[in-house]
Amino acid sequence: RSGFITIIGRPNVGKSTLINYLIGEKLSIISNKPQTTRNTIQAILTRDEFQMVFIDTPGIHKPKHKLGEYMVRIAVNSLNDVDLVLFLTTPEETLGVGDKHIIEQLKNVKTPVILVINKIDTVKRDVTAKTIDNYRHEYEFSDIVPISALTGENVDNLLKVMVSKL
């Protein structure tokens, strides 16, 4: 199986860390300049069972840019052009405005979205459970997977879930 995947999420949630973990910080990282890239290939992960091409898509995860309607449409369209979206967030007791903004945009996206709750190594389990509960009521995610991109905890499971959606 193979497909195009994009990772969205607020700054600092661990998007680059996850890609680095998956790729093993080898030469596969083609571009690492999120501020300047538009629909460029970030990395390609090839295994016997699958190939995943990670694409950097514009707009939706850059709340510091004030986006006009046109830019929002481009951002949403780019999410509809990939096979799978990973929405990265972190465990929090309550949903922040940044994440609410992203969920609003996702309501116009038809691509399956996996919610990835990253940095679970930094909190107690009940915080992660609360986070899952909060998000479940906000959007119909294709799946919800808690991980640590730093330690690699549950990343294998995330890959399995991703492959099952391709």
Annotation-wise, does 59 bind a ligand?
Answer: yes
Q: Does residue 16 bind Mg ion (CB under 5 A)?
A: yes
Chain residue at closest Cβ approach to Mg ion: 16
* Site mask for ligand GDP (CB under 6 A), range 135-154, x = bound: -------------xxx----
Give the closest residue to 108 by CA, choosing from 64, 58, 74, 65: 74
Q: How far is the CB of 70 from ligand GDP (least distance, A)?
A: 25
Q: Does residue 17 bind Mg ion (CB under 5 A)?
A: no
- Contacts of Mg ion in 44-73 (CB under 5 A): none
Main-chain phi, psi angles of 34, to 5 degrees: -60, -25
Give the closest residue to 98 by CA, choosing from 7, 10, 6, 5: 10
Residues near 114 by beta carbon (within 8 Å), at least 6 away in sequence: 84, 85, 86, 87, 141, 142, 143, 144, 145, 158, 161, 162, 165
**Count of residues of this chain found to bind Mg ion when the rule CB under 5 A is applied:** 2
Return residues touching ligand GDP (CB under 6 A).
Answer: 9, 11-17, 118-119, 121-122, 148-150
Indicate the annotated binding residues for GTP: 9-16, 56-60, 118-121
